[in-house]
Structure 1
């Protein structure tokens, strides 16, 4: 064992011991995320991974990184299993295999990060801060790929460990969640860098750690302390709390409509009435009687935004869409938005001709994707972007870049996931989109969590999972476009490129005495 190296990372550890440590560290990352947000777990988890990747071949590094992510995703997205038990007779047996398979597949991306890191260490050995920078940029580069490949699934990004800390989440306004994830991982592994550093190289690491944390906090605090004037628009969000097992039962449509109309009719003023995804379990634009009842609840120019499925007949047959539609007192559709980022196996079946699998949601056929992000103009209200459920998890893909809105409406149905940690994680994504875009996000959820989020990511009001009720509150104001809103992931590219150049120069100079710790491959 090298001097100063902790006993648990002895050079004599075999592959399975390293994978076991990585698996446990990956599981620990779940505690860094909402609803837990244990910030202290960030340096523990990522420093352990950084240390156990030392002196290991590229193939074994992949397995260690994969084991870390298997622990992270296996626990972090275990709530997905609940959706299979909504119709347990047909899908219950698939719950565990589906979660295990998805977790194993997603774990490939962190495995690639670990493999890339190990490969660079063998060819251009660097140590200390440069090694930390290289690891962090490998991590964020493959994390970005996870958000793009096969429609993408950027769930539980490293940056979301900071979402419950007002000052620490603010850098997302400049570099987005991927860039903030890079900073989170880099600062998180500095204790690991310090552990393996030669004694005379520890002072610079300590100084950098202190400066980075202080700069993070001060810069974010200055931004979060800036007040944004509210609008004069009054909102009413309705959370009907209709269980998923009841939503599509024959004969339940009228009961559901009665519930939403009753909650909407409570005393109080509102300009915009907001119902969640598929609040009306049917084709509302084809149901004249239902629209007439809704019209009666919308006097004096009030507007309803509600989720509802839609269908369009064409030469190729019937196409189905998951939409949000706007209605006024006339009962006619004013405008609408069709979801463009659909959930695989939930809203459509990929490779349907090849896979003998049914989708989990009720309906007559697979949904068709809409054309993309769209800004809606609604009479008497600020311009609005709509993100339906799953769409809010994609950084940089919620707002129409050519026609900036004043707020984002996130209509969702998290009833599929019961009282698990899934809805809290989903809310965290919505809060980060608010910070990135500098726009308030208003969330209407069927069974929770409904919330109003201001442009700094603060939750102004909320209804928790399993609650039935309404939120009456004003619409928060928007900030000026953030750097991330203007340039998107180009800010990440600049950050990653700069870090690679820094790491390359450090390895080229070869003056870091810690480099020897990373240059030897262990079989």
Structure 2
């Protein structure tokens, strides 16, 4: 009877911790854009730290999973909007798909929590060292989430500071995963202070404030470095705001092209014209008449970068690509880039022979991935890298390592997600890539958010979701190559290794202090 009561009490205790974990995970959504409530970052992760204190590995796994379910269940709920674009075909799948994806992504916080519990119980780690362990475990899990099964590094913990100029700058040295490491470490310290006793409590809390000040100060120093002058290139972004339901209807094709041509032809100085992902609803290289009409709308010496579908026929069949193509004022296609990181179930169906599932986007067949990041050379502008839509969310995978561009063009189509928080979160990823690479990013979106982002991640100008219009602005300057741009995630490993070394040296010094000798 006593054992049964103990099991019931343990079960209730676990359920209570899982419920608190779920709430803490849900709070993280408010730390990301468009909310960016910085004060909730230590609340959420300190709560997780306290909840995981002195629990078994199995219980930690469940608590971490509950945290992830709250984080992703609310954080990516906007994905359901895409299923209602063609509600008659996919509407019934919206809730099951988001729930299943959230439950799957929650496995990664579960991995972090169980790893933290396994090591901390074995080594009896507390205080600063325990916070360091949680940050390391969390960062490892985030990195795995960004790479396993094509990866989905959405809403990384470090993105909580994207709206805070100085705090986001350390990503230039250690990337977004490294920024997550720093944010989790600092945010868990108040939790460690809450658990600590005596003078340790105040010391840990002051340590958290000191670490935050160091991160802010290091970021602020980046703004003191000299930035080269802008290259003097005039850009025009066109946000056609064509509803996704209407975009591919054959009867709307002419109206869509006419809309983009009219907006592109408005008075103003333009060197490079930028249209969003698949702005042209057809195969541009096969349509001489459309190319001629576009060329007529381009001032002399101007080039257009536009998203278009493409297809190549071979003996093995026809292959479809999601591309950005460059067109000059003579109707000649100058160059192009094919998207290499495709969206599962959106642009192709994994294991198509086994899964009887249709993809969400219309078309005659699955898209084929391109060879990888590529820099385009245009006669009218500095070297440009291209990232199409979803590709911009992957740290360290948007720039050609052999030929560094001077700016990045992010052609995207967030029309699938309506007026949800999804486009704001997507924009946050683009801003972090700008910081990591030290490159301005120019983002053209069909229904918003189109934006000019400088090399420090600051949004200089934007067209919001649902707006129809043009955005004329000068191309910002590129900064020199960043440490993260040169080293990639090796910089993350260096950060974690050096953090552990300093912490362990400090702990050893404390143990050898006067108090320890008296004890002996």
- Using the size of structure 1 for normalisation, the TM-score is 0.94
Pick closer, same or farther for the CA change 1:101–1:503 going to 2, 3 Å: farther
1:448 aligns with 2:471: no
Distance (Å, rounded) in 2 between the aligned partners of 1:23 and 1:269: 52
State the Cα deviation string for residues 67-120 of structure 1 (Å, max 9, x = none): 001000000000000000000000000000000000000110110000000000
- Write out aligned runs for 1:240-259 (5 A): 240-259=240-259
Name the counterpart of 1:157.
156
8 A contact 2:322–2:339 mirrored in 1? yes
Q: Is the 8 A contact 2:389 2:413 kept in 1?
A: yes
CA distance in 1 between counterparts of 2:504 and 2:480 reads 37
Give how far 1:335 is off: 0.2
Superposition map of 1:137-176 within 5 A: 137-176=136-175
Residue in 2 aligned with 1:356?
Answer: 356
Q: Structure 1 residues 118 and 511 mapped into 2: Cα distance closer, same or farther (>3 Å)?
A: farther
Which residue in the other structure is 1:110 paired with?
109
Is the contact between residue 238 and residue 444 of structure 1 (CA under 8 Å) also seen in structure 2? yes
Deviation, structure 1 residue 203: 3.5
Paired position in structure 2 for 1:342: 342
Q: Which moved more, 1:111-120 or 1:204-213?
A: 204-213
Show the counterpart of 2:518: none
Q: Is the 8 A contact 1:275 1:304 kept in 2?
A: yes
> Bigger shift: 414-423 or 212-221?
212-221
Residue aligned with 2:324, SS: strand
Aligned to 1:230: 230
Q: Within 2, Cα distance between the matches of 1:468 and 1:399?
A: 30
How far does residue 511 in structure 1 lie from its aligned partner after superposition?
5.1
The residue that corresponds to 1:516 in the other structure is: none
Given the alignment of the two structures, is residue 27 of structure 1 paired with residue 26 of structure 2, yes or no?
yes
Shift of 1:213: 1.3
- Alignment pair present for 1:383 and 2:383: yes
Distance 1:64 1:503, change over 3 A: farther
User: Mapping of 1:56-75 within 5 angstroms?
Assistant: 56-75=55-74
How far off its partner does 1:504 sit?
6.7
Match in the other structure for 1:517: none
Equivalent in the alignment of 2:182: 183
Q: Structure 1 CA distance, aligned partners of 2:404 and 2:126?
A: 44
User: Where does residue 302 of structure 2 map in the other structure?
Assistant: 302
1:39-87 CA distance string (max 9 Å, x none): 0000000000000001111011011001001000000000000000000
Give the aligned partner of residue 4 of structure 1. Answer: none
5+ unaligned residues in a row in structure 2: which ranges? 1-8, 513-520
Gaps of 5+ in 1: 1-9, 513-523
Correspondence for 2:417: 417
Residues 272 and 380 in structure 2, CA contact (< 8 A), matched pair in contact too: no
Task: Find the counterpart in structure 1 of residue 44 from structure 2.
Answer: 45
Q: Distance in 2 between matches of 1:506 and 1:400?
A: 41
Partner of 1:315: 315
Note if 1:124 corresponds to 2:123. Answer: yes
Which one has more relative contact order, counting CA pairs under 8 Å at least 6 apart? 1
**What's the CA shift for 1:210?**
2.0
- Residue deviations 1:15-54, cap 9 Å, x none? 1000000000000000000000000000000000000001
Change beyond 3 A, Cα 1:430–1:159: same
Judged with a 3 Å threshold, the aligned counterparts in structure 2 of structure 1 residues 344 and 326 are, in CA distance, closer, same or farther, namely same
2:489 is the alignment partner of 1:486: no
Summarize deviations over 1:454-510 as a string: whole Å, max 9, x none: 001110110000000000010000000010001000011112233455667789999
1:191-202 equivalences in 2 (<5 Å):
191-202=190-201
CA distance in 1, matches of 2:511, 2:420: 50
Q: 1:6 aligns to what?
A: none
Partner of 2:70, secondary structure, is helix
1:168 alignment partner, SS class: helix
2:32·2:160 contact (CA, 8 Å) conserved in 1?
Answer: yes
1:471 matched to 2:443? The reply is no
Shift of 1:209: 1.2
Measured in 1, the distance between the counterparts of 2:11 and 2:189 equals: 23
The offset of 1:126, in angstroms, is 1.2
CA distance in 2: counterparts of 1:148 and 1:312, whole angstroms: 29
Where does residue 404 of structure 1 map in the other structure?
Answer: 404
- Shift in Å, 1:222: 2.3
Structure 2 CA distance, aligned partners of 1:122 and 1:307? 53
Q: What TM-score, normalized to structure 2?
A: 0.94
Shift in alpha-carbon separation, 1:143–1:447, aligned structure 2, 3 A:
same
